[in-house]
Structure 1
Amino acid sequence: MPRSVPAAGGRIWRLLYPIAAFALLIAVWELVKAVVPANGVSVGSQRVLPRTSDGALPHSWAVLTVLREPDGRTTVGATLSHTASFTLELALLALGLGTLVGIALAVLMQRFELVERGLMPYVVVSQTIPLIALAPLVAGWGGKIVIAGQPWQPWMSIVVIASYLVFFPVAIGTLRGLQSPAEASVELLHSCAAGWWATLLHLRLPAAVPHILPALRLGAAAAVIGSVVAEISTGTAGGIGRQIIVFSQQSTGNAARLYAAVIAAALLGVVLTGLVSLAEVLLRRYARPGLSAGSAR
């Protein structure tokens, strides 16, 4: 019972930390706005501090008030809400697809050592390919695919491109988790005539959960980044990525709309990571540090 108070206090502080960090960010934002000259600071011909005019760095409250400005038949806030929800749906699909592919690859590499040795270098090298160069290729290939009589849709290319970023952390984290059970635990199941499949279900996968969850948090952020970049690269309308381009073209006089769109995109990552954190709470019983005392195949 006495431990509940510190535990509750720790949860409160974990909630207050993001709020305090956001308040500090706003304070630094306004400090830069107040201290740095409007034209920035240059040493010779090299600019060392950015411009702080309203066209380059609006006040933080201007980013909030711009949400009420009209944008066609609606407001800027409504436009950002609609486009952000579209991107969030694609990011969720990308997170699911990337997670399935990553876990499947990890299980395959854990089962066959030869597959791990042959496949792991290519998994690592795959992440060195620039996403902006990959996006047009995926969109071009997808345009030639027909699934159950239905032509490939542009949003499918975005999901595939974003899942390309997701599968890597999930595959690496899951593989390390599957290899984490102690040798004694594996031998105990083998002595009970448990085969590879039973060992996977009852030992390796539960032991991998504490490794998978942090990888999913990374994958959630990667899904949002991949979706936004894919929308921009493929020119797909309807998402927050395309909206950033539209507002950037309108930011000559005031960049508040552009900053609002960028912040909305960042909040998508927070939302998706929060959903993964909920899954972490549900799977908390699998966080057993003592289970991973060694490595076995």
Structure 2
Amino acid sequence: MSAGRVRTAVSAVVAFALLVGLWELAKAVLPDAGVSIGGTRVLPRTDDAAMPHVWTVLARLGEPEVAGAAAQRTVGEAVASGALFTLGLALGGLLIGGVLGALLALGMARSGLLERALLPWVVLSQTVPLIAIAPLVAGWGGKIAVFGQPWQPWASVMVISSYLAFFPIAVGALRGLTSPRRADLELFRALACGWWTTLLRLRLPAAVPHLVPAVRLAAAAAVVGAIVAEISTGTRGGVGRLIIEYAQSATGDPSRMYTAILGAAVLGLVAAGAVGLLDLALRRYRGNVA
């Protein structure tokens, strides 16, 4: 493992430890009722009902999800199962969004007119609240069939996830494809290279340093989209549904809800970290930013 990757891993651990320390420090210093100024609460409540201790949340992971059930499953197992289900939908959304974003970037890089026509709409698409789109996608999906098969709720989650994933890939790929220097482009023209040859030999390698961070951002966005879609559409099996179910019992056991939130946070880190494998495969192009 390179020194740079060791520093990255150590930094991630230190950042997590710092977050835990700040959480416990807030509980120790701030009043349980929070801080209010002029009748407006400016700092949140820090009692156990609003901010349970970190060790209390971690202890809940080993407890039974349903007390007295015949088939016992711990809260940690439920969160892990839900996280894997959501991860599969997020990866599907990332794949769909990545293909769509790459095609849009290729089209806009090929034609300046197409870029001027599409890019404002690509940016505008991200101003629409995701929570407003989710019910529409679920409603439309309930009226269609794919190859004779009824539309499944998880398919709606995957489509909604791809909605968030396509934007960073489209913008990052477009920036990368248009990053080669004019002198390099002129050299390829002088060698009578066509557009596709220039794309494969020059534009795509030059786009890698821009594309890898975009895919990492898209992976995290796909996870967020999948979780929000599960919550909005009520799709069962994922960590988003667990957040809803555990939130319903938050009055009596708030720490259980935080276990699902912790699972969602770890899921986002896993998805973003998995893109590091792509970075390793393309490391030969890492210094090619023009």
Same fold, TM exceeding 0.5?
yes
Question: Which residue does 1:295 correspond to in 2?
Answer: none
Whichever residue aligns with residue 84 of structure 1, its letter is A
2:271 matches 1:272:
yes
2:201 matches 1:202:
yes
* Unmatched 5+ stretches in structure 1: 1-6, 293-297
Percent identity over paired residues: 56
Question: Which residue does 1:246 correspond to in 2?
Answer: 245
The CA distance in 2 between the partners of 1:248 and 1:141, in whole Å, is 28
Whichever residue aligns with residue 57 of structure 2, its letter is V
The CA distance in 2 between the partners of 1:52 and 1:126, in whole Å, is 38
The CA distance in 1 between the partners of 2:218 and 2:5, in whole Å, is 24
The CA distance in 2 between the partners of 1:39 and 1:145, in whole Å, is 50
Whichever residue aligns with residue 241 of structure 1, its letter is G
The CA distance in 1 between the partners of 2:16 and 2:252, in whole Å, is 26
2:61 matches 1:67:
yes
Pairing of 1:112-261 with structure 2 (within 5 A): 112-261=111-260
Q: State the Cα distance separating 1:193 from its structure 2 match.
A: 2.2
Match of 1:47 among 34, 41, 65: 41
Give per-residue Cα distances to partners, 1:259-286, cap 9 Å, x unaligned. 1111110111100111101110110101
The CA distance in 2 between the partners of 1:160 and 1:21, in whole Å, is 32
Question: Which residue does 2:69 correspond to in 1?
Answer: none
- In structure 2, the residue corresponding to 1:47 is in which secondary structure? strand
On the 8 A contact 1:54/1:254 being kept in 2, the answer is no
Question: Which residue does 1:11 correspond to in 2?
Answer: 5
- In structure 1, the residue corresponding to 2:11 is in which secondary structure? helix
The CA distance in 2 between the partners of 1:132 and 1:147, in whole Å, is 25
2:32 matches 1:38:
yes
Question: Which residue does 1:24 correspond to in 2?
Answer: 18
Give per-residue Cα distances to partners, 1:89-123, cap 9 Å, x unaligned. 00111111111100100000111111111111111
2:93 matches 1:99:
no
Q: State the Cα distance separating 1:9 from its structure 2 match.
A: 4.2
The CA distance in 2 between the partners of 1:228 and 1:13, in whole Å, is 30
Q: State the Cα distance separating 1:45 from its structure 2 match.
A: 2.0
- In structure 2, the residue corresponding to 1:238 is in which secondary structure? coil
- In structure 1, the residue corresponding to 2:33 is in which secondary structure? coil
On the 8 A contact 1:58/1:254 being kept in 2, the answer is no
On the 8 A contact 1:87/1:224 being kept in 2, the answer is yes
Moved more, 43-52 or 209-218: 43-52
Q: 1:147 to 1:31 in 2, by over 3 A?
A: same
* Unmatched 5+ stretches in structure 2: 67-71
The CA distance in 2 between the partners of 1:82 and 1:149, in whole Å, is 30
2:262 matches 1:263:
yes
Whichever residue aligns with residue 176 of structure 2, its letter is G
TM-score in terms of structure 1 length: 0.93
- In structure 1, the residue corresponding to 2:61 is in which secondary structure? helix
Question: Which residue does 2:281 correspond to in 1?
Answer: 282
Whichever residue aligns with residue 106 of structure 1, its letter is A
The CA distance in 1 between the partners of 2:266 and 2:83, in whole Å, is 9
TM-score in terms of structure 2 length: 0.95
On the 8 A contact 1:98/1:163 being kept in 2, the answer is yes
Question: Which residue does 1:57 correspond to in 2?
Answer: 51
Q: 1:107 to 1:10 in 2, by over 3 A?
A: closer
Give per-residue Cα distances to partners, 1:212-258, cap 9 Å, x unaligned. 11111110110011000000111111110111011111110231111
How many residue pairs get matched?
Answer: 285
Whichever residue aligns with residue 139 of structure 1, its letter is A
RMSD of aligned Cα (Å): 1.4
